[in-house]
Amino acid sequence: MQRIRLRYTKRGRLRFTSHRDFQRAFERALRRAEVPMAYSAGFTPHPKVSYANAAPTGTGSEAEYLEIALTASRDPERLRALLDESLPTGLDIVDAVEARTSGLADRLTASVWELRLTGVEPAVAERAVAAFKAAETVEVQRTAKNGVRTFDARAAVVELETHGTPADRPTDQPCAILRLVVRHVTPAVRPDDVLSGLRAVADLAPPVPAAVTRLAQGLLDEETGTVTDPLAPDREAATAPAAGSAAAPVPA
Amino acid sequence: MSAEVAEAVESVFPQLEALLPHVQKPIQYVGGELNSTVKPWESCDVRWALMYPDAYEVGLPNQGVMILYEVLNEQEGVLAERTYSVWPDLEALMREHGVPQFTVDGHRPVKAFDVFGLSFSTELGYTNMLTALELAGIPLESKDRGLDDPIVLAGGHAAFNPEPVADFIDAAVIGDGEQAVLDMTRIIRAWKAEGRPGGREEVLFRLARTGGVYIPAFYDVEYLPDGRIARVVPNRSGVPWRVSKHTVMDLDEWPYPKQPLVPLAETVHERMSVEIFRGCTRGCRFCQAGMITRPVRERSITGIGDMVEKGLKATGFEEVGLLSLSSADHTEIADVAKGLADRYEEDKIGLSLPSTRVDAFNVDLANELTRNGRRSGLTFAPEGGSERMRKVINKMVSEEDLIRTVATAYGNGWRQVKLYFMCGLPTETDEDVLQIADMAMKVIQKGREVSGANDIRCTVSIGGFVPKPHTPFQWAPQLSSEDTDARLAKLRDKIRGDKKYGRSIGFRYHDGKPGIVEGLLSRGDRRLGAVIRAVYEDGGRFDGWREHFSYERWMRCAEKELPRVGLDVDWYTTRERGYEEVLPWDHLDSGLDKDWLWEDWQDALDETEVDDCRWTPCFDCGVCPQMDTSIQIGPTGKKLLPLTVKNAAPAPAPNGHAH
């Protein structure tokens, strides 16, 4: 059995895809691409797919991860291209490696997010960010199915900084861009919660919903405050000692 | 409709996008489905917006819309985009922020299109049409529309009596849409190319004079003092007295949808559907679909095989539905089912036959369909509880047949059988309905006997009968909701009260109220337009949804509007019509001879049955000669060959025989 790890995106309008929607679409893409999937045993066999840490509905992502189990070996790059072609544009498969290490999920300890706040002056955002970072804790509330929950949104935030209006935006409309690095903790602190926190500490209230995108997910480097590519260890393991694998026949 | 010089039509997506984070299931509004098409606006000169006037989750899988979408988009210079009803949460935001009704493909405003075509499977979509029109900025009534408004066109089964929505639509097409939309496209294109001479009225007239497009505004309805219709008359020369339905012959030439849409959002049917035949001549007298889609036209076994193969490749669906009005009646259904089950055995593709008659069911077929999977439930629709009722409705299924079939199913491992019935059929008494309980008990008794198990179940599902236009029951009185509910309560008590079998019988029923509104609209006339509008203005939406439907609102609005014309709801629903009465849909020609329908109605009252013309001589329903069509059925004698040769065996020569 071969295991392949994939990085995929939720771009543009398809960021409104829920995780359940993505799962159905992905399983259909596996069929269209005729991937030799391994199936679970049991009354209703399911293709073996493990999803890690999906981004919330409505947020874009450049870095979602999953792992599939195959009954026959496939070249990861060709498989990536086939699957990508079988999915709607916006749900793009952008990276594939054969799993040669354990614990992909263990390497996803933090995320880097970009939050575009259209209609917000960068200076205003800057002040709110400063207030947020200065606070010891920032209590926020989230409405879940079983009621309103209150928790701290500050501790999980490793980094939060402001950038000015980007070049690709018309200058007549202010737009602040936040870059957020947040640890994966329980209960999860999402970009939404950080926005609630900014509102709580500094009354920051964007006039339109923020456009939120996950830029990266991976192992948090505590010193630099960056995250590392979680597929890198698999790639390194592949190029290192496994001699002769380059000549191995790769079907389809 | 859009001017001949194509103006830039901008996507409204940026405005919509800001609203989406605030609504439920935003994915349903963003489009981008696999196999969807967005053509450049300027590259086309005839543009269709197609709507299924219900929520996306119901509308997206609709085969009719999917077929027309693909047929139109295949044409050079023609584009078609889809739009669905938005839920009230988004509707409120769209009104607040001035975002118009949009298509999910290009997110273009519906008002910019040449044709706004709505497919009505049921009358309960009428209020949703008004929501869409108002959101689109198109005047609600046809008479108020101008040159730049789209032609509002109704199709689908409910369009066989479009009179209740005559105020709101500009045109209606009845029957198969595939060729009709292309014919209409040609006429609209020519008129636009000429510089739109004569304005809106001229293009509608050009459509009307083909005899295949109904323009309500070109007909005057005259009434008798007692409220009945005196006559329906064309009000200008060149407009035909009657408008014909459209019939596509040779389904193999129309293998649509070739590239079925695959939604990202969850929808009611998540499968690849192939229509294996169109039409039905079983002759069930309550069944409008069977009456208006005659004659039977089969898709060939090889045509079905090709569609399944290409469709699965294009979609990745894991289930194939073989659709028709009575799927086990296809002349080669056994070979179709076996051939497909063989082909896809290793791919874990499920097969389903959504409509199966008791008398056409056989266990070999059922075994093929469930080769890989579960045997959880089988569904049959005897419709009538007593032998007498089944003669009245011409659903010739004997109790012995049913018990035998069900026994075979339980004996082969099925644990649950669902039985569908109707309540309120013509001449029905309490006794007829109570016999449903007896039937269910016999089913359980037999099931326990053959399976040796006590945990088998039978579910009785029952709803109120609604008389429909173009059927032998179009003259019949509808049972009032009070009587329907009382009868259902008696049945429920009888089932629940049975100590021996009651616990094994599930009972699901729909109360009689929605049926009365459906009945009001299905046999209604133009005077109901005021009621529909009043309901809409009072907030009526999504009438097919229990949580949105309000019987009280419909009755309140009807009580306000109908007395102005001296009528009431009962006049439309529980009143029996006579032979001589002009029915609101008489000028819409389904091909059925009205005298034949009347005779069949009289036969129903005499409990006389009629055979199926596929297997017995023609009984002169009138459709084939009137529409110049004929029955197209197999068998072709062909088989579905394996797609790939397995175990490296030599490939058989085409049509070869071993000697």
Q: What is the mean pLDDT of residues B626-638?
A: 94
- Locate B644 and state its tokens: 């790939």
Are the Cβ atoms of A209 and B21 closer than 8 angstroms?
yes
Residue predicted with more confidence, B360 or B476? B476
Residue type, B540: G
Q: How many domains does chain A have?
A: 2
Please indicate, yes or no, whether residues A130 and A216 belong to a single structural domain of this protein. yes
How far apart (Å, rounded) are the C-alpha atoms in residues B311 and B329?
Answer: 23
* DSSP-based three-state secondary structure for B628: coil
Are the Cβ atoms of A21 and B266 closer than 8 angstroms?
yes
- Residue spans per domain, chain B: 13-244, 274-373+611-643
Is residue A249 one of the residues assigned to a domain?
no
Confidence (pLDDT) at A210: 93
With left for phi above 0 and alpha for psi between -120 and 50, is residue B534 left, alpha or beta?
Answer: alpha
How far apart (Å, rounded) are the C-alpha atoms in residues B102 and B62?
Answer: 19
How high does pLDDT run on average in chain B? 93
B90 vs A contacts (CB less than 8 Å): none
pLDDT at residue B541 is higher than 50:
yes
Phi, psi of B254 (to 5 degrees): -125, 70
> Per-residue pLDDT tens for A9-32?
999 999 999 999 999 999 999 999
Q: How confident is the model at residue A247 (pLDDT cuts 50, 70, 90)?
A: very low
Is residue A236 one of the residues assigned to a domain?
no
pTM of the model: 0.92
Are the Cβ atoms of B312 and A31 closer than 8 angstroms?
yes
Confidence (pLDDT) at B382: 92
Please indicate, yes or no, whether residues A86 and A112 belong to a single structural domain of this protein. no
Are the Cβ atoms of A14 and B266 closer than 8 angstroms?
no
Is residue A175 one of the residues assigned to a domain?
yes
* Distance to chain B for A185, nearest Cα, Å: 24
> Per-residue pLDDT tens for B551-560?
999 999 999 9
Domain boundary among A38, A73, A99: A99
Q: What is the mean pLDDT of residues B229-249?
A: 98
A208 vs B contacts (CB less than 8 Å): 18
Confidence (pLDDT) at B372: 65
Least-confidence region, from B233-242, B262-271, B272-281, B369-378? B369-378
How far apart (Å, rounded) are the C-alpha atoms in residues B474 and B522?
Answer: 10
How far apart (Å, rounded) are the C-alpha atoms in residues B368 and B334?
Answer: 8
Determine which of A8, A10, A13 to mutate to test the interface with B (most B C-beta atoms within 10 Å).
Answer: A13
Q: What is the mean pLDDT of residues B118-147?
A: 98
Sign of the C-alpha dihedral, residues B141, B146, B147, B149? negative
pLDDT at residue B163 is higher than 50:
yes
* DSSP-based three-state secondary structure for B20: helix
Tokens 């040669």: give the residue: A100
Of the candidates B13, B34, B266, the beta carbon closest to that of A13 is on: B13
Please indicate, yes or no, whether residues A88 and A116 belong to a single structural domain of this protein. no
Least-confidence region, from B265-274, B297-306, B563-572? B265-274
pLDDT at residue B509 is higher than 70:
yes
Percent of chain A exceeding pLDDT 70 equals 92
Confidence (pLDDT) at B384: 95
Of the candidates A22, A39, A90, the beta carbon closest to that of B32 is on: A90
CATH number of domain containing A208: 3.30.70
Tokens 């026949």: give the residue: A249
Q: Beta A60-70 vs A2-10: how paired, if at all? A: antiparallel
A45 vs B contacts (CB less than 8 Å): 348
- Whether the CB-CB separation of B57 and B265 falls below 8 Å is answered with yes
User: Does A187 sit behind a cis peptide bond, omega within 30 degrees of 0 on the bond before it?
Assistant: yes
Please indicate, yes or no, whether residues A93 and A131 belong to a single structural domain of this protein. no
Please indicate, yes or no, whether residues A17 and A130 belong to a single structural domain of this protein. no
How far apart (Å, rounded) are the C-alpha atoms in residues B573 and B479?
Answer: 8
Architecture of domain B13-244: 3-Layer(aba) Sandwich (3.40)
Confidence (pLDDT) at B409: 86
pLDDT at residue B651 is higher than 50:
no
Confidence (pLDDT) at B376: 63
How far apart (Å, rounded) are the C-alpha atoms in residues B370 and B501?
Answer: 28
Q: What is the mean pLDDT of residues B389-394?
A: 97
**A–B: how many Cβ contacts below 8 A?**
71
Please indicate, yes or no, whether residues A140 and A197 belong to a single structural domain of this protein. yes
Q: What is the mean pLDDT of residues A82-104?
A: 95
Residue predicted with more confidence, B477 or B410? B477
Is residue A24 one of the residues assigned to a domain?
yes
Confidence (pLDDT) at A165: 62
Domain boundary among A40, A75, A99: A99
pLDDT at residue A135 is higher than 60:
yes
Instruction: Give the residue on A whose Cα is nearest the Cα of B19.
Output: A209
pLDDT at residue A169 is higher than 60:
no
DSSP label at residue B389? H
- Provide ipTM, 2 decimals: 0.86
Tokens 């790890």: give the residue: A5
Domain boundary among A75, A99, A123: A99
Least-confidence region, from A30-34, A100-104, A170-174? A170-174
How far apart (Å, rounded) are the C-alpha atoms in residues B277 and B256?
Answer: 12
Please indicate, yes or no, whether residues A115 and A88 belong to a single structural domain of this protein. no
A224, burial (CB in 10 Å: exposed 0-12, middle 13-18, buried 19+): exposed
Show the beta-strand stretches assigned E in B449-584: 457-464, 505-509
Please indicate, yes or no, whether residues A94 and A111 belong to a single structural domain of this protein. no
* DSSP-based three-state secondary structure for B84: strand
Tokens 């939720």: give the residue: A10
What's the helix, strand, coil split of chain B in %, to 5? Answer: 40, 15, 45
How far apart (Å, rounded) are the C-alpha atoms in residues A198 and A130?
Answer: 10
Is residue A189 one of the residues assigned to a domain?
yes
pLDDT at residue B366 is higher than 90:
no
SS (HEC) of chain A: CEEEEEEEEECHHHHHCCHHHHHHHHHHHHHHCCCCECECCCCCCCECEEEECCCCCCCEEEEEEEEEEECCCCCHHHHHHHHHHHCCCCCCEEEEEECCCCCCHHHCCEEEEEEEEECCCHHHHHHHHHHHHHCCCCEEEEEECCEEEEEECCCCEEEEEEECCCCCCCCCCCEEEEEEEEECCCCCCCHHHHHHHHHHHHCCCCCCCCEEEEEEEEEEECCCCEEECCCHHHHHHHHCCCCCHHHCCCCC
Which of B224-255 are b and which e, b meaning 16 or more Cβ less than 10 Å from the residue's Cβ?
eeebbbeebebeeeebbeebbbbbbbebeebb
Of the candidates A18, A44, A208, the beta carbon closest to that of B27 is on: A18
- Locate A99 and state its tokens: 């799993």
With left for phi above 0 and alpha for psi between -120 and 50, is residue A121 left, alpha or beta?
Answer: beta
Phi, psi of B143 (to 5 degrees): -65, -20
Q: What is the mean pLDDT of residues B351-379?
A: 78
Please indicate, yes or no, whether residues A202 and A115 belong to a single structural domain of this protein. yes
Please indicate, yes or no, whether residues A66 and A176 belong to a single structural domain of this protein. no
- Locate B157 and state its tokens: 């089964």
Chain A positions contacting chain B at CB under 8 Å are 13-14, 16-18, 20-22, 24-25, 27-32, 39, 43-45, 57-58, 86-90, 208-209
Q: How confident is the model at residue B364 (pLDDT cuts 50, 70, 90)?
A: confident
Alpha-carbon dihedral B385, B387, B393, B398, rounded to 10 degrees: 100
- Locate B415 and state its tokens: 């644990």
* DSSP-based three-state secondary structure for B47: strand
Confidence (pLDDT) at A172: 72
> Per-residue pLDDT tens for B570-623?
999 999 999 999 999 999 999 999 999 999 999 999 999 999 999 999 999 999
How far apart (Å, rounded) are the C-alpha atoms in residues A124 and A99?
Answer: 45
Is residue A239 one of the residues assigned to a domain?
no
Determine which of B264, B266, B415 to mutate to test the interface with A (most A C-beta atoms within 10 Å).
Answer: B264
pLDDT at residue B346 is higher than 60:
yes
Are the Cβ atoms of B30 and A209 closer than 8 angstroms?
no
Confidence (pLDDT) at A167: 59
- Whether the CB-CB separation of B133 and B140 falls below 8 Å is answered with yes
Are the Cβ atoms of B316 and A27 closer than 8 angstroms?
yes
Are the Cβ atoms of B266 and A22 closer than 8 angstroms?
no
B265 vs A contacts (CB less than 8 Å): 21
Confidence (pLDDT) at A164: 67
How far apart (Å, rounded) are the C-alpha atoms in residues B327 and B261?
Answer: 23
A39 vs B contacts (CB less than 8 Å): 348
Please indicate, yes or no, whether residues A132 and A70 belong to a single structural domain of this protein. no
pLDDT at residue B377 is higher than 80:
no
A31 vs B contacts (CB less than 8 Å): 312, 316-318, 347
Q: Beta A60-70 vs B219-223: how paired, if at all? A: unpaired
- Whether the CB-CB separation of B488 and B462 falls below 8 Å is answered with yes
Please indicate, yes or no, whether residues A88 and A114 belong to a single structural domain of this protein. no
Confidence (pLDDT) at B411: 87
Architecture of domain B274-373+611-643: 2-Layer Sandwich (3.30)
For A91, the domain range is 2-99
Packing angle, helices B399-411 and B430-451, rounded to 10: 30
Is residue A35 one of the residues assigned to a domain?
yes
Top mean pLDDT of A218-222, A247-251, B535-539 is at B535-539
Is residue A84 one of the residues assigned to a domain?
yes
